[in-house]
């Protein structure tokens, strides 16, 4: 697979890139939204993994744009922002990502092997451990 990864946290992006490369995927890694949009528009990708909070243009706007251009593209939204609490005033950005068309939503930190399972449609690649279908379905965006 050819996968576009957008994350401004260099260590997270490199970890995702290394894991996917081990499984034979080609990964294009960018650290801001504009570079991600440009990469997407100039090449073909089988999936996109993106952080919600990116410099230049945010992940929510990117999801909106990608969904218009490619309605069936698997988009995995990731975020380290804590979920909204009853008393909190911040929205749950992963729920917003889902409403905009993200296919899967993962809250950081997550197990990197979940990405390979998700990208394979629930069939884990060796040597990633099998992830119970129930757990995988909990990560699918509503």
Q: Residues with Cβ < 8 Å from 105, sequence gap 6 or more?
A: 76, 77, 78, 79, 94, 95, 97, 98, 139, 140, 141
Instruction: Using pLDDT thresholds of 50, 70 and 90, give the confidence band for residue 85.
Output: low
pLDDT in the model for residue 35: 97
φ/ψ bin of 118: left (φ > 0), alpha (ψ from -120 to 50), beta (otherwise): alpha
Mean pLDDT of 99-126: 80
The mean predicted confidence, pLDDT, of the chain is 83
Break the chain into its structural domains and give their ranges: 2-139
Residue 42 predicted with pLDDT over 90? yes
Mean pLDDT of 46-56: 94
140 vs 12, higher pLDDT: 12
Structurally, at CATH architecture level, domain 2-139 sits in 3-Layer(aba) Sandwich (3.40)
**pTM for the whole structure:** 0.82
Contacts of residue 134, Cβ cutoff 8 Å, sequence gap at least 6 = none
How confident is the model over 66-78, as pLDDT tens digits?
999 999 999 999 9
């Amino acid at each position: 697979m050819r996968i576009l990864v957008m994350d401004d946290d260099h260590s997270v992006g490199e970890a995702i890139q290394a894991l996917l490369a081990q499984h034979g995927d080609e990964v294009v890694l960018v650290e801001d939204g504009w570079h991600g949009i440009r990469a997407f528009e100039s090449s073909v990708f089988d999936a996109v993994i993106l952080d919600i909070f990116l410099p230049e243009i945010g992940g929510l706007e990117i999801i909106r744009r990608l969904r218009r251009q490619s309605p069936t593209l698997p988009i995995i939204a990731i975020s380290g922002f804590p979920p909204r609490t009853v008393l909190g005033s911040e929205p749950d950005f992963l729920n917003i990502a889902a409403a905009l068309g993200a296919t899967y939503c993962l809250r950081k930190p997550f197990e990197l092997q979940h990405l390979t399972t998700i990208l394979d449609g629930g069939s884990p690649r060796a040597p990633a451990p099998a992830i119970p279908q129930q757990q995988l379905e909990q990560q699918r965006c509503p």
